[in-house]
Structure 1
Amino acid sequence: MSFAAKPYLRSVTIDPAADADPDDYPFSIPAVRELGVLEPHPDVTFFVGENGAGKSTVLEAIAVALDMPAEGGTRNVLREQQEVSPLHRCLKLVKGFKRPRYSYFLRAESLFNVFTYLDSLPGNPEPSLHLRSHGEAFMDVLQGFSGDGIYLLDEPEAALSPNRQLAALAVIDRLVKQGAQFIIATHSPILLAYPRAKILLFDETGISHVDYEDTEHYAVTRDFLNHYPRRLQQLLDDAD
Protein backbone atom coordinates (compact mmCIF):
# COMPACT_ATOMS: atom_id res chain seq x y z
CA MET A 1 0.00 0.00 0.00
CA SER A 2 1.07 3.64 -0.34
CA PHE A 3 2.45 5.07 2.87
CA ALA A 4 1.35 8.52 1.67
CA ALA A 5 -2.07 7.43 2.95
CA LYS A 6 -0.84 7.83 6.52
CA PRO A 7 -1.56 9.24 8.95
CA TYR A 8 -5.21 8.21 8.97
CA LEU A 9 -5.70 10.54 11.93
CA ARG A 10 -3.82 13.82 11.46
CA SER A 11 -4.91 15.97 14.39
CA VAL A 12 -7.24 16.17 17.38
CA THR A 13 -8.48 19.41 18.94
CA ILE A 14 -11.31 20.62 21.15
CA ASP A 15 -13.96 22.09 18.88
CA PRO A 16 -14.13 25.84 19.63
CA ALA A 17 -17.90 25.61 19.35
CA ALA A 18 -18.12 22.87 21.99
CA ASP A 19 -19.85 23.64 25.27
CA ALA A 20 -16.92 22.71 27.51
CA ASP A 21 -17.03 23.93 31.11
CA PRO A 22 -13.44 23.92 32.46
CA ASP A 23 -14.75 23.10 35.93
CA ASP A 24 -16.58 19.96 34.81
CA TYR A 25 -15.05 16.52 34.20
CA PRO A 26 -13.17 15.73 32.02
CA PHE A 27 -12.24 19.35 31.20
CA SER A 28 -11.14 19.80 34.80
CA ILE A 29 -8.17 17.54 33.93
CA PRO A 30 -5.30 19.86 32.90
CA ALA A 31 -4.19 17.74 29.94
CA VAL A 32 -7.74 17.70 28.55
CA ARG A 33 -8.32 21.40 29.18
CA GLU A 34 -4.98 22.25 27.54
CA LEU A 35 -5.28 19.70 24.74
CA GLY A 36 -4.34 22.23 22.07
CA VAL A 37 -3.58 20.56 18.74
CA LEU A 38 -2.68 16.92 19.25
CA GLU A 39 -0.94 15.61 16.13
CA PRO A 40 -0.40 11.84 16.18
CA HIS A 41 2.70 10.35 14.56
CA PRO A 42 1.97 8.57 11.27
CA ASP A 43 3.32 5.33 12.80
CA VAL A 44 3.11 5.15 16.59
CA THR A 45 2.07 7.67 19.23
CA PHE A 46 2.39 6.94 22.94
CA PHE A 47 0.39 8.66 25.68
CA VAL A 48 2.23 8.60 29.03
CA GLY A 49 1.60 10.14 32.42
CA GLU A 50 0.53 9.41 35.96
CA ASN A 51 -2.75 7.68 36.75
CA GLY A 52 -5.52 10.23 36.42
CA ALA A 53 -3.54 12.45 34.02
CA GLY A 54 -6.16 11.98 31.29
CA LYS A 55 -4.39 9.77 28.77
CA SER A 56 -6.99 6.97 28.82
CA THR A 57 -9.82 9.53 28.84
CA VAL A 58 -8.46 11.18 25.69
CA LEU A 59 -7.74 7.82 24.03
CA GLU A 60 -11.28 6.60 24.73
CA ALA A 61 -12.76 9.85 23.39
CA ILE A 62 -10.75 9.54 20.17
CA ALA A 63 -11.90 5.94 19.77
CA VAL A 64 -15.57 6.83 20.24
CA ALA A 65 -15.22 9.83 17.90
CA LEU A 66 -13.86 7.36 15.31
CA ASP A 67 -17.02 5.23 15.78
CA MET A 68 -15.30 2.53 17.81
CA PRO A 69 -17.05 1.15 20.92
CA ALA A 70 -15.97 2.58 24.28
CA GLU A 71 -15.58 -0.89 25.75
CA GLY A 72 -13.30 -1.98 22.94
CA GLY A 73 -13.43 -3.94 19.71
CA THR A 74 -14.17 -3.01 16.11
CA ARG A 75 -16.91 -0.76 14.78
CA ASN A 76 -18.99 -3.94 14.44
CA VAL A 77 -19.16 -4.59 18.19
CA LEU A 78 -22.75 -3.53 18.79
CA ARG A 79 -23.65 -3.93 22.45
CA GLU A 80 -24.62 -1.77 25.39
CA GLN A 81 -21.49 0.18 26.19
CA GLN A 82 -20.03 1.44 29.42
CA GLU A 83 -20.63 5.03 30.43
CA VAL A 84 -18.19 7.42 28.78
CA SER A 85 -17.20 11.02 29.31
CA PRO A 86 -18.73 13.66 27.01
CA LEU A 87 -15.28 14.49 25.59
CA HIS A 88 -15.82 12.63 22.31
CA ARG A 89 -18.67 14.99 21.43
CA CYS A 90 -16.33 17.97 21.81
CA LEU A 91 -13.47 16.71 19.66
CA LYS A 92 -12.65 17.91 16.18
CA LEU A 93 -10.74 15.29 14.21
CA VAL A 94 -8.77 15.95 11.04
CA LYS A 95 -8.42 12.72 9.10
CA GLY A 96 -6.21 11.72 6.20
CA PHE A 97 -7.53 11.48 2.67
CA LYS A 98 -7.68 7.68 2.84
CA ARG A 99 -10.07 5.96 5.21
CA PRO A 100 -8.53 2.91 6.93
CA ARG A 101 -10.19 -0.40 6.16
CA TYR A 102 -9.77 -1.64 9.72
CA SER A 103 -9.88 -0.15 13.19
CA TYR A 104 -9.81 -1.55 16.71
CA PHE A 105 -9.91 -0.10 20.22
CA LEU A 106 -8.17 -2.54 22.52
CA ARG A 107 -8.40 -1.95 26.25
CA ALA A 108 -7.12 -4.61 28.61
CA GLU A 109 -9.65 -3.93 31.36
CA SER A 110 -12.70 -4.81 29.26
CA LEU A 111 -11.23 -7.40 26.87
CA PHE A 112 -13.06 -10.20 28.72
CA ASN A 113 -16.43 -8.56 28.02
CA VAL A 114 -15.61 -8.12 24.33
CA PHE A 115 -14.66 -11.80 24.02
CA THR A 116 -17.92 -12.81 25.74
CA TYR A 117 -19.86 -10.67 23.27
CA LEU A 118 -18.08 -12.27 20.30
CA ASP A 119 -18.87 -15.74 21.68
CA SER A 120 -22.56 -14.80 21.84
CA LEU A 121 -22.84 -13.98 18.15
CA PRO A 122 -24.80 -16.59 16.18
CA GLY A 123 -22.69 -18.60 13.79
CA ASN A 124 -19.38 -17.35 15.20
CA PRO A 125 -16.98 -19.98 13.79
CA GLU A 126 -13.89 -18.97 15.75
CA PRO A 127 -12.75 -20.83 18.87
CA SER A 128 -13.49 -18.82 21.98
CA LEU A 129 -10.65 -16.54 23.04
CA HIS A 130 -11.70 -17.37 26.61
CA LEU A 131 -9.90 -20.68 26.05
CA ARG A 132 -6.62 -18.77 25.97
CA SER A 133 -4.83 -16.97 28.78
CA HIS A 134 -5.36 -13.21 28.95
CA GLY A 135 -1.94 -12.53 27.43
CA GLU A 136 -2.32 -15.20 24.74
CA ALA A 137 -5.75 -13.89 23.75
CA PHE A 138 -4.41 -10.33 23.66
CA MET A 139 -1.60 -11.40 21.33
CA ASP A 140 -4.07 -13.31 19.14
CA VAL A 141 -6.08 -10.11 18.70
CA LEU A 142 -2.97 -8.04 17.98
CA GLN A 143 -1.64 -10.56 15.45
CA GLY A 144 -5.02 -10.49 13.70
CA PHE A 145 -4.69 -6.79 12.86
CA SER A 146 -4.13 -5.73 9.25
CA GLY A 147 -1.66 -3.17 7.93
CA ASP A 148 -4.43 -1.00 6.48
CA GLY A 149 -5.82 0.19 9.79
CA ILE A 150 -5.76 2.47 12.82
CA TYR A 151 -5.47 0.88 16.25
CA LEU A 152 -5.89 2.40 19.69
CA LEU A 153 -4.47 0.38 22.61
CA ASP A 154 -5.12 1.27 26.25
CA GLU A 155 -2.40 -0.03 28.60
CA PRO A 156 -1.77 -3.27 26.66
CA GLU A 157 1.07 -4.21 29.03
CA ALA A 158 -1.56 -5.10 31.66
CA ALA A 159 -2.10 -8.37 29.81
CA LEU A 160 1.48 -9.02 28.73
CA SER A 161 4.61 -10.44 30.36
CA PRO A 162 7.91 -8.68 29.52
CA ASN A 163 8.63 -11.28 26.83
CA ARG A 164 5.16 -10.80 25.37
CA GLN A 165 5.70 -7.05 25.35
CA LEU A 166 8.80 -7.60 23.23
CA ALA A 167 6.76 -9.84 20.93
CA ALA A 168 4.08 -7.15 20.74
CA LEU A 169 6.72 -4.63 19.67
CA ALA A 170 7.70 -6.90 16.79
CA VAL A 171 4.06 -7.25 15.69
CA ILE A 172 3.48 -3.50 15.93
CA ASP A 173 6.59 -2.86 13.83
CA ARG A 174 5.48 -5.35 11.17
CA LEU A 175 2.05 -3.70 10.97
CA VAL A 176 3.52 -0.19 10.86
CA LYS A 177 5.69 -1.22 7.92
CA GLN A 178 2.52 -2.47 6.22
CA GLY A 179 0.78 0.87 6.75
CA ALA A 180 -0.86 0.76 10.18
CA GLN A 181 -1.12 3.68 12.61
CA PHE A 182 -1.14 3.12 16.39
CA ILE A 183 -2.03 5.33 19.36
CA ILE A 184 -1.11 3.64 22.64
CA ALA A 185 -1.59 4.71 26.26
CA THR A 186 1.03 2.90 28.32
CA HIS A 187 3.23 2.77 31.41
CA SER A 188 5.60 0.22 29.85
CA PRO A 189 9.24 1.28 29.35
CA ILE A 190 9.58 -1.70 26.99
CA LEU A 191 6.82 -0.55 24.63
CA LEU A 192 7.95 3.07 24.86
CA ALA A 193 11.34 2.07 23.43
CA TYR A 194 9.83 1.67 19.95
CA PRO A 195 12.17 3.78 17.77
CA ARG A 196 9.73 5.37 15.33
CA ALA A 197 7.30 6.98 17.74
CA LYS A 198 6.10 10.22 19.28
CA ILE A 199 5.78 10.17 23.08
CA LEU A 200 3.28 12.65 24.52
CA LEU A 201 3.42 13.37 28.24
CA PHE A 202 0.13 14.17 29.99
CA ASP A 203 0.65 16.19 33.18
CA GLU A 204 -0.61 19.20 35.13
CA THR A 205 0.75 21.61 32.50
CA GLY A 206 -1.04 19.96 29.58
CA ILE A 207 0.47 17.72 26.89
CA SER A 208 4.08 17.93 25.72
CA HIS A 209 6.49 15.91 23.59
CA VAL A 210 9.16 13.99 25.50
CA ASP A 211 12.08 11.83 24.39
CA TYR A 212 12.21 8.20 25.52
CA GLU A 213 15.20 8.56 27.86
CA ASP A 214 13.60 11.63 29.43
CA THR A 215 10.46 9.76 30.46
CA GLU A 216 9.97 8.93 34.11
CA HIS A 217 9.23 5.35 33.03
CA TYR A 218 12.74 4.94 31.60
CA ALA A 219 14.54 6.84 34.36
CA VAL A 220 12.83 5.11 37.30
CA THR A 221 13.11 1.64 35.77
CA ARG A 222 16.78 2.09 34.87
CA ASP A 223 17.64 3.50 38.29
CA PHE A 224 15.81 0.70 40.12
CA LEU A 225 17.34 -2.11 38.08
CA ASN A 226 20.84 -0.67 38.42
CA HIS A 227 20.55 -0.02 42.16
CA TYR A 228 17.69 -2.21 43.33
CA PRO A 229 19.19 -3.38 46.70
CA ARG A 230 19.78 0.24 47.75
CA ARG A 231 16.44 1.45 46.38
CA LEU A 232 14.54 -1.35 48.14
CA GLN A 233 16.30 -0.57 51.39
CA GLN A 234 15.47 3.12 51.07
CA LEU A 235 11.88 2.39 50.12
CA LEU A 236 11.19 -0.14 52.86
CA ASP A 237 13.05 1.82 55.54
CA ASP A 238 10.96 4.85 54.68
CA ALA A 239 7.83 2.72 54.86
CA ASP A 240 8.76 1.64 58.42
Structure 2
Amino acid sequence: MAGLTVATGVVVLVLTGLSYAGQRRLLGEEAAPVTIRVIGHQWWWEVQYEDPQPSRGFTTANEIHVPVGVPVQVKLESTDVIHSFWVPSLMGKQDLIPGRPSAIRFTAERPGVYRGQCAEFCGMQHAKMGLLVIAEEQADFARWRDGQVAPRPEPASDEARAGEAAFVAAPCSMCHQVRGTAAAGRNGPELTHVGSRRTLAAGTLPTSRGNLAAWIVDPHGIKPGVNMPLVKLDSDQLNSISAYLAGLK
Protein backbone atom coordinates (compact mmCIF):
# COMPACT_ATOMS: atom_id res chain seq x y z
CA MET A 1 0.00 0.00 0.00
CA ALA A 2 2.81 2.40 0.87
CA GLY A 3 4.47 1.72 -2.46
CA LEU A 4 1.23 2.48 -4.34
CA THR A 5 0.86 5.74 -2.44
CA VAL A 6 4.41 6.79 -3.33
CA ALA A 7 3.90 5.83 -6.99
CA THR A 8 0.67 7.85 -7.14
CA GLY A 9 2.44 10.86 -5.65
CA VAL A 10 5.24 10.61 -8.18
CA VAL A 11 2.78 10.40 -11.10
CA VAL A 12 0.88 13.45 -9.82
CA LEU A 13 4.09 15.45 -9.46
CA VAL A 14 5.26 14.51 -12.95
CA LEU A 15 1.93 15.43 -14.51
CA THR A 16 1.89 18.73 -12.60
CA GLY A 17 5.36 19.55 -13.88
CA LEU A 18 4.42 18.73 -17.47
CA SER A 19 1.24 20.80 -17.21
CA TYR A 20 3.18 23.76 -15.79
CA ALA A 21 5.80 23.55 -18.54
CA GLY A 22 3.12 23.38 -21.22
CA GLN A 23 1.17 26.33 -19.84
CA ARG A 24 4.38 28.36 -19.49
CA ARG A 25 5.27 27.67 -23.12
CA LEU A 26 1.81 28.59 -24.41
CA LEU A 27 1.06 31.56 -22.17
CA GLY A 28 4.49 32.88 -21.18
CA GLU A 29 5.14 36.60 -21.22
CA GLU A 30 8.75 36.61 -22.46
CA ALA A 31 9.33 38.24 -25.83
CA ALA A 32 8.97 36.06 -28.92
CA PRO A 33 10.83 36.65 -32.21
CA VAL A 34 7.50 36.97 -34.06
CA THR A 35 4.64 38.90 -32.44
CA ILE A 36 1.23 39.09 -34.05
CA ARG A 37 -1.92 40.83 -32.86
CA VAL A 38 -5.12 39.05 -33.91
CA ILE A 39 -8.41 40.93 -33.55
CA GLY A 40 -11.70 39.07 -33.86
CA HIS A 41 -14.59 40.63 -35.77
CA GLN A 42 -17.95 39.26 -36.83
CA TRP A 43 -16.89 37.26 -38.86
CA TRP A 44 -13.26 37.64 -39.84
CA TRP A 45 -9.78 37.92 -38.35
CA GLU A 46 -7.68 41.09 -38.46
CA VAL A 47 -3.97 40.20 -38.33
CA GLN A 48 -1.38 42.84 -37.36
CA TYR A 49 2.32 41.97 -37.54
CA GLU A 50 4.28 43.98 -35.00
CA ASP A 51 7.88 45.08 -35.40
CA PRO A 52 10.27 47.32 -33.39
CA GLN A 53 10.58 49.39 -36.56
CA PRO A 54 7.09 50.84 -37.17
CA SER A 55 7.73 50.91 -40.93
CA ARG A 56 8.11 47.11 -40.85
CA GLY A 57 4.69 46.51 -39.31
CA PHE A 58 1.69 45.71 -41.50
CA THR A 59 -1.88 44.44 -41.39
CA THR A 60 -3.51 41.58 -43.26
CA ALA A 61 -6.57 39.38 -42.71
CA ASN A 62 -7.59 35.77 -42.20
CA GLU A 63 -4.18 34.33 -43.08
CA ILE A 64 -1.16 34.06 -40.80
CA HIS A 65 2.34 33.20 -42.02
CA VAL A 66 4.95 32.03 -39.50
CA PRO A 67 8.51 30.71 -39.74
CA VAL A 68 9.12 27.08 -38.84
CA GLY A 69 10.91 26.48 -35.56
CA VAL A 70 10.50 30.04 -34.28
CA PRO A 71 8.33 30.92 -31.22
CA VAL A 72 5.33 33.06 -32.13
CA GLN A 73 3.30 35.12 -29.69
CA VAL A 74 -0.28 35.89 -30.67
CA LYS A 75 -1.94 38.77 -28.81
CA LEU A 76 -5.71 38.38 -28.90
CA GLU A 77 -8.51 40.96 -28.80
CA SER A 78 -12.16 41.19 -29.83
CA THR A 79 -14.08 44.21 -31.04
CA ASP A 80 -17.61 42.85 -30.58
CA VAL A 81 -18.47 39.46 -29.00
CA ILE A 82 -16.54 36.52 -27.55
CA HIS A 83 -14.54 34.62 -30.17
CA SER A 84 -12.09 31.76 -29.68
CA PHE A 85 -8.79 31.37 -31.55
CA TRP A 86 -8.09 27.70 -32.31
CA VAL A 87 -5.67 25.99 -34.69
CA PRO A 88 -5.95 22.35 -33.55
CA SER A 89 -2.69 21.10 -35.04
CA LEU A 90 -0.64 23.91 -33.49
CA MET A 91 -2.18 24.99 -30.18
CA GLY A 92 -5.11 24.85 -27.82
CA LYS A 93 -8.03 27.27 -27.73
CA GLN A 94 -7.80 30.78 -26.35
CA ASP A 95 -10.82 33.06 -25.98
CA LEU A 96 -10.99 36.62 -27.26
CA ILE A 97 -13.15 38.55 -24.79
CA PRO A 98 -14.04 42.22 -25.44
CA GLY A 99 -12.07 44.46 -23.10
CA ARG A 100 -9.82 41.64 -21.86
CA PRO A 101 -6.72 41.16 -24.05
CA SER A 102 -5.08 37.75 -23.84
CA ALA A 103 -2.24 35.93 -25.57
CA ILE A 104 -1.08 32.48 -26.64
CA ARG A 105 2.26 31.16 -27.88
CA PHE A 106 3.12 28.38 -30.28
CA THR A 107 5.94 27.07 -32.44
CA ALA A 108 5.27 25.35 -35.77
CA GLU A 109 7.64 22.38 -35.94
CA ARG A 110 7.18 21.59 -39.64
CA PRO A 111 6.09 23.40 -42.81
CA GLY A 112 2.45 23.15 -43.78
CA VAL A 113 -0.92 24.84 -44.05
CA TYR A 114 -2.92 24.55 -40.83
CA ARG A 115 -6.64 25.25 -40.71
CA GLY A 116 -7.95 27.33 -37.82
CA GLN A 117 -11.46 28.21 -36.72
CA CYS A 118 -13.36 30.35 -34.28
CA ALA A 119 -14.31 27.85 -31.57
CA GLU A 120 -16.87 29.97 -29.67
CA PHE A 121 -20.32 30.55 -31.14
CA CYS A 122 -20.26 34.20 -32.16
CA GLY A 123 -23.33 34.70 -34.31
CA MET A 124 -24.92 33.73 -37.58
CA GLN A 125 -21.72 33.12 -39.56
CA HIS A 126 -19.66 31.54 -36.76
CA ALA A 127 -19.09 28.45 -38.95
CA LYS A 128 -17.57 30.64 -41.68
CA MET A 129 -15.00 32.35 -39.47
CA GLY A 130 -11.98 30.34 -40.48
CA LEU A 131 -8.32 31.17 -40.91
CA LEU A 132 -5.14 29.60 -42.26
CA VAL A 133 -1.77 29.43 -40.57
CA ILE A 134 0.96 28.87 -43.16
CA ALA A 135 4.22 27.65 -41.65
CA GLU A 136 7.20 27.99 -43.97
CA GLU A 137 10.97 27.93 -43.88
CA GLN A 138 12.51 31.06 -42.42
CA ALA A 139 13.84 32.34 -45.75
CA ASP A 140 10.41 31.94 -47.36
CA PHE A 141 8.77 33.70 -44.43
CA ALA A 142 11.24 36.59 -44.70
CA ARG A 143 10.43 36.99 -48.41
CA TRP A 144 6.70 36.89 -47.70
CA ARG A 145 7.04 39.48 -44.94
CA ASP A 146 9.08 41.81 -47.18
CA GLY A 147 6.34 41.55 -49.80
CA GLN A 148 3.62 42.35 -47.28
CA VAL A 149 5.46 45.42 -45.97
CA ALA A 150 5.60 46.88 -49.48
CA PRO A 151 2.76 49.07 -50.77
CA ARG A 152 0.38 47.70 -53.34
CA PRO A 153 1.85 46.73 -56.73
CA GLU A 154 1.23 49.14 -59.57
CA PRO A 155 -1.73 48.07 -61.71
CA ALA A 156 -0.40 45.97 -64.59
CA SER A 157 -3.08 46.73 -67.23
CA ASP A 158 -5.46 49.45 -68.35
CA GLU A 159 -8.33 47.41 -66.89
CA ALA A 160 -6.60 47.19 -63.50
CA ARG A 161 -5.82 50.91 -63.55
CA ALA A 162 -9.48 51.62 -64.24
CA GLY A 163 -10.33 49.23 -61.40
CA GLU A 164 -8.14 51.11 -58.95
CA ALA A 165 -9.80 54.40 -59.87
CA ALA A 166 -13.25 52.85 -59.54
CA PHE A 167 -12.37 51.22 -56.21
CA VAL A 168 -11.07 54.46 -54.69
CA ALA A 169 -14.09 56.43 -55.98
CA ALA A 170 -16.64 53.87 -54.72
CA PRO A 171 -17.71 53.35 -51.08
CA CYS A 172 -15.17 50.47 -50.99
CA SER A 173 -12.45 52.94 -49.97
CA MET A 174 -14.44 54.03 -46.92
CA CYS A 175 -14.17 50.55 -45.34
CA HIS A 176 -10.98 49.06 -46.82
CA GLN A 177 -7.37 50.17 -46.98
CA VAL A 178 -4.98 49.68 -49.89
CA ARG A 179 -1.60 51.15 -48.99
CA GLY A 180 -0.25 53.44 -51.69
CA THR A 181 -3.73 54.69 -52.66
CA ALA A 182 -6.33 57.06 -51.23
CA ALA A 183 -8.31 54.07 -49.89
CA ALA A 184 -7.78 54.27 -46.13
CA GLY A 185 -10.85 52.67 -44.51
CA ARG A 186 -10.45 50.69 -41.30
CA ASN A 187 -13.80 48.94 -40.86
CA GLY A 188 -13.18 46.01 -43.19
CA PRO A 189 -10.20 43.78 -44.01
CA GLU A 190 -7.00 45.42 -45.27
CA LEU A 191 -6.65 44.66 -48.99
CA THR A 192 -3.16 45.80 -50.00
CA HIS A 193 -2.14 42.25 -50.98
CA VAL A 194 -5.53 40.52 -51.04
CA GLY A 195 -4.77 38.78 -54.34
CA SER A 196 -1.98 36.80 -52.66
CA ARG A 197 -4.25 35.29 -50.01
CA ARG A 198 -5.54 31.78 -50.48
CA THR A 199 -9.13 32.47 -49.46
CA LEU A 200 -11.71 35.23 -49.24
CA ALA A 201 -14.24 36.05 -46.51
CA ALA A 202 -12.39 34.19 -43.72
CA GLY A 203 -11.97 30.91 -45.54
CA THR A 204 -15.37 30.93 -47.27
CA LEU A 205 -14.17 31.05 -50.91
CA PRO A 206 -10.90 30.29 -52.73
CA THR A 207 -9.32 33.49 -53.99
CA SER A 208 -9.96 34.08 -57.69
CA ARG A 209 -11.09 36.94 -59.86
CA GLY A 210 -14.50 35.33 -60.30
CA ASN A 211 -15.00 34.83 -56.57
CA LEU A 212 -13.91 38.41 -55.88
CA ALA A 213 -16.60 39.62 -58.29
CA ALA A 214 -19.21 37.31 -56.74
CA TRP A 215 -18.37 38.53 -53.25
CA ILE A 216 -18.57 42.20 -54.27
CA VAL A 217 -21.93 41.71 -56.01
CA ASP A 218 -23.67 39.69 -53.29
CA PRO A 219 -21.79 39.23 -50.02
CA HIS A 220 -25.02 38.50 -48.16
CA GLY A 221 -25.90 35.67 -50.53
CA ILE A 222 -22.57 34.04 -49.72
CA LYS A 223 -22.35 34.93 -46.02
CA PRO A 224 -25.74 36.16 -44.72
CA GLY A 225 -25.53 38.81 -42.03
CA VAL A 226 -22.05 40.01 -42.96
CA ASN A 227 -21.46 43.72 -42.36
CA MET A 228 -20.28 44.44 -45.91
CA PRO A 229 -22.92 46.62 -47.62
CA LEU A 230 -24.19 46.13 -51.13
CA VAL A 231 -22.44 48.49 -53.55
CA LYS A 232 -24.10 49.40 -56.83
CA LEU A 233 -21.64 48.92 -59.69
CA ASP A 234 -22.16 48.56 -63.40
CA SER A 235 -20.62 45.60 -65.21
CA ASP A 236 -17.57 47.53 -66.39
CA GLN A 237 -16.83 48.77 -62.87
CA LEU A 238 -17.26 45.26 -61.42
CA ASN A 239 -14.98 43.68 -64.01
CA SER A 240 -12.26 46.29 -63.59
CA ILE A 241 -12.38 46.24 -59.76
CA SER A 242 -12.21 42.44 -59.65
CA ALA A 243 -9.22 42.54 -62.03
CA TYR A 244 -7.55 45.16 -59.84
CA LEU A 245 -8.05 43.25 -56.59
CA ALA A 246 -6.92 39.95 -58.11
CA GLY A 247 -3.67 41.67 -59.10
CA LEU A 248 -2.89 42.90 -55.57
CA LYS A 249 -0.24 40.33 -54.78
TM tier relative to shorter chain: under 0.3
Could you say which structure has the larger radius of gyration? 2
State the TM-score, normalized to the length of structure 1.
0.23
- Which has the larger strand fraction? 2
State the TM-score, normalized to the length of structure 2.
0.23
- Taking CA–CA contacts closer than 8 Å with sequence separation of 6 or more, which of the two structures ends up with the larger relative contact order? 1
- Which has the larger helix fraction? 1
